[in-house]
Structure 1
Amino acid sequence: MKKGVIRPGHVQIRVLDMDEAVAHYRDLIGLIETDRDDQGRVYLKGWTEVDKFSVVLREADSAGMDFLGFKVLSEAVLESLRGELAAFGCEIEDIPAGELIDCGRRVRFVAPTGHSFELYATKTQTGRYGVGNHNPEAWPRDLKGMKAQRFDHCLLYGPNLDKTFDLFRDVLGFDLCEQVMTPDGKRVAQFLTVGMKAHDIAFIDHPEPGRFHHASFFLETWEDVLKAGGDYFYPDHEPITWDADSAQRAFPHRLDLITGNSV
């Protein structure tokens, strides 16, 4: 049952060297730099994204993911989901509007895998970069690198996949579209979507909590990333199941541009 979560909205990534990271995400991946704040964080977006940013880079001593945010339909939905998260037993932190530039208040919570997630309803919309909404051009003429269109999803490692699945399904309204099962029936990988994409977030079973594998970005053509692919999902579809000894075949068909560090 859908609960009002729209899509992945932003990810804050810890990087070891800001200059090198900006050159990678902006000049190679092709994201658009939109702002910097007094904490030294750099804000970026894909050119088709209407919100002001989807990626925030923060320089730190260790690489990884600080948090992944999902956008919800309204402030009323945000408040309702806050209550459901608390009832589920999640640790809740209220982040005031403006802590991220031009973003409204956020509700942060920790999943059983040890990862921090947050929900928000409002963010300044700057429109699609270089084209607008009135008599738009097909694409901007000054894009760099791989011309990434949008932030797509994250792959995360951690324990307690079953409890995390309950959280994302029952509280946030995600669907399970693919999974990897062991012969004894344990789910060791799960791919979850809140819409019709192949997945909006994926989890791999791992004993250490809170691990970050990659952030992924959508590219327009096969030529952009040599060969890639994907699938679609509707709520009445059965999840695709991969046997653990065949799991390596589950990953090459993804339209993934792996840009994060495995930490």
Structure 2
Amino acid sequence: MAVMRMGYVHARVTDLAEAKNHYANTLGLYETLAEDGKVYYKAWDEWDHHSVVLEEGGVGVVKFGFKVEYESDIDLIEKKAQDFGLTVERMSKGENPEVSDGIRFIAPSEHVFEVYHGQTLIGTEVGTHNPDAFPRHLVGVGVPARDHALILAEDVRTMENMFGAVFDFFPTERVQTDLEDKDAHFIASWMTANNQIHQIAVLEGPQAKFHHFAFKLGDWTEVGRAGDIFAMDDVPIDIGPTRHGITRGQTIYFFDPSGNRNEVFAGGYPAYRDRPINKWTPDQIAKGTFYHARELNERFTSVYT
């Protein structure tokens, strides 16, 4: 396996001070570096230097970083990306603080993807020697890790093919116009390279747009507590607490002060390459998205950055 996981999300925010209050004090991320209008964060159970980068100046996503297991994987993925027809450039160590050299390319969706093999090891907040279950002094929600992201693209099938051919991802869930037709139109796809139910999802929509990125929680109780914290901090909630039919995850969607959508996500089921794909038809998207209410709100389908 080459790609182990999505390593970081780099997003834009309109006001860095407001964003820092949201991500540090409400979500409970730990600041690891601040420089040049950017701030870098990790969650308490993450060991690399950062998993979230915020940059002042607008909204939406700047780029995604994917971490591979070995330095030699960079060359393999570079060749696979070129074979897929993508233009690849080399990325030098230090272009991203505390991140190794690697490659960078623009996906068919017009999102920027970086691939790297190393990031400065900081360690989790509980360490690895006889660790406690969680840090004693969590702040806000106290999210343990960043989880996944959902992006938009005009051609979902091409994006699924790209993730498979270049990163060796496989789809776990998909919305398509026909369950049996191999040429069915793909409306959305959820993909991963490991046992996480999805690391990235792609929804049909405008190129280069960003729907949300998510933070991991443990269970329903933690999702409910997060909802209480959001109410205390006047965080605008999009929807939830509720459950997804697709992935079976428990969720709340909400907005940061700039209007970027976040999510807290718990549950799901383990992904395996030999497990059949869960396929959904367009008439069941509401059930798949919000399993309890089985209806979509206007914001969820029309607001993206």
TM-score after normalising by structure 1: 0.91
Aligned to 1:100: 96
Where does residue 189 of structure 1 map in the other structure? 188
**SS of the residue 2:164 aligns to:** helix
Hey, what's the Cα distance between the residues in 2 that align with 1:252 and 1:198?
A: 17
Which moves more between the two structures, 5-14 or 225-234?
225-234
Asked if 2 retains the 8 angstrom alpha-carbon contact of 1:148 and 1:220, the reply is no
| Deviation sequence 1:187-207 (CA, Å, 0-9, x none) | 10000011111100000011x
Q: 1:211 aligns with which of 190, 209, 212?
A: 209
Alignment of 1:21-60 (within 5 A): 21-37=19-35, 39-60=36-57
Q: Aligned match of 1:180 in 172, 175, 180?
A: 175
Contact map agreement 2:7 2:51 (CA 8 A) in 1: yes
Residue aligning to 2:304: 262
Separation in 1, partners of 2:151, 2:277: 19
Task: Give me the whole-angstrom Cα distance separating, in 2, the residues matched to 1:84 and 1:162.
Answer: 18
8 Å Cα contact 1:112-1:161 kept in structure 2 = no
* Matched letter for residue 128 of structure 2: N
The CA distance in 1 between the partners of 2:17 and 2:89, in whole Å, is: 31
SS in 2 for 1:22: helix
Offset at residue 186 of structure 1 (A): 0.8
Match of residue 110 from structure 1: 106
**Which whole-Å CA distance do the structure 2 matches of 1:102 and 1:188 have between them?**
37
**1:242 partner letter:** W
**SS of equivalent residue, structure 2 residue 8:** strand
Aligned to 1:73: 69
CA contact (8 A) 1:6 1:73 kept: yes
Which residue does the alignment assign to 1:233? 271
Q: Give yes or no for the alignment of 1:220 onto 2:218.
A: yes
Please list every run of 5 or more consecutive structure 1 residues that lacks an aligned counterpart in the other structure: none
The 4+ residue runs of structure 1 with deviation greater than 4 A are none
- Give deviations 1:101-122, integer Å, cap 9, x for gaps: 1111131111111111111000
Which secondary structure does the structure 2 equivalent of 1:249 belong to? helix
Instruction: Report whether the alignment pairs 1:20 with 2:18.
Output: yes
The match for 1:142 is 137
Alpha-carbon offset, residue 220 of structure 1: 2.3
Q: Distance in 2 between matches of 1:92 and 1:212?
A: 22
Matching residue of 1:119: 115
1:248 aligns with 2:246: no
Counterpart residue identity of residue 7, structure 2: G
Distance 2:102 2:19 in 1: 26
**1:146–1:219 Cα contact (<8 Å) kept:** no
Q: In structure 2, the residue corresponding to 1:246 is in which secondary structure?
A: helix
Instruction: Note the C-alpha offset of 1:221.
Output: 3.0
1:168 equivalent in alignment to 2:166 = no
Deviations 1:50-106 (A, max 9, x none): 10110000001x200011111001111112211221221112232211122111113
Secondary structure of the structure 2 residue equivalent to 1:27? helix
Identical pairs, percent: 34
Q: Which structure exhibits the higher relative contact order, with contacts defined as CA atoms closer than 8 Å and separated by 6 or more residues?
A: 1
Q: What's the Cα RMSD here?
A: 1.6
Q: Which letter maps to 2:19? A: A
How far off is 1:138 after superposition?
Answer: 1.7
Instruction: Give 1:133's aligned residue.
Output: 128
> Within 2, Cα distance between the matches of 1:231 and 1:105?
34
Gaps of 5+ in 2: 225-240, 242-249, 251-266, 292-299
The answer to whether the 8 Å contact 2:4/2:67 transfers is yes
- Verify: 1:10 aligned to 2:48, yes or no: no
